[in-house]
Amino acid sequence: MSILQLLLFGGGLMALMVVGYAALAGPSAAKESQRRLNAVRYRHSESTDTKVESQLKKAIAARKPKAHKVAGSTSRLEALEVRLDRSGKGWTVSQYFYASLGIALGVAVLIYLRSGAALLALVVGTVFGAGLPHFVVGFFIKKRTGDFNAKFPDAIELLVRGLRSGLPVTETLGIVAQEVPGPVGAEFKSIVERTKIGKSMEEALQDTGDQLGIP
């Protein structure tokens, strides 16, 4: 092999190694560069909307779902109260228990009148009294969460537009609460109310995420 061929072979091999390294290390290096750029942009920018957007992103990323105890009657009552809140129907624990008792008695009486079997009536009534309200609440929770997820991108878009136009964050959240229908508007209204009484944005987002059960 001549010196020229050796040089060409070495140059081609070097170029191939450079391309391979760029292909393997490029994405992570680009992400790191973008992260540093965003950090510098936030640190040195005097733009309010840039800072608020960064704070909102940090708050959302830091939010963790609240865990409830699984043992003890108090924790079960709290878990039931959370489920009722997540349904968005405004039902109370007392109303839930009254409805369960009414369904259980109604079904038990109906079964007893038709079959004459007291034990069967008691068992079927208990199953319906415990299961039907739980199923109904779960149905409304799933529906409300689905509606929230469907409209949430619209709320984020409206929020970013308001912040970039120079509106204060509280006023922008209020606009989102008015303009976006359904559970998204209701939850953003709750966020505004919580921040007005002294809660931080992280705490307000935490409460909203816990109520919706969104991780």
Number of domain units in the chain: 1
For 137-164, the DSSP string reads HHHHHHHHHHHHHHHHHHHHHHHHHHHH
Does the structure show a pLDDT above 60 at 9? no
In a domain, 80, yes or no: yes
**Residue 98 pLDDT:** 95
pTM of the entire predicted model: 0.58
Identity (one letter) of the amino acid at 48? T
Mean pLDDT of all residues in 172-180: 86
Classify the phi-psi angles of 65: left when phi > 0, otherwise alpha if psi is within -120 to 50, otherwise beta: beta
Mean pLDDT of all residues in 77-104: 90
In a domain, 53, yes or no: no
In a domain, 203, yes or no: yes
Nearest CA to 187 out of 199, 200, 178 is that of 178
What are the pLDDT digits (tens) for 14-30? Answer: 544 544 544 444 445 44
Angstrom distance (rounded) from CA 36 to CA 55? 16
In a domain, 171, yes or no: yes
Note down the domain range covering 149. Answer: 73-212
Q: What percent of the chain has pLDDT over 70?
A: 62
In a domain, 56, yes or no: no
Q: What is the 3-state secondary structure (H, E, C) of 168-179?
A: CHHHHHHHHHHH
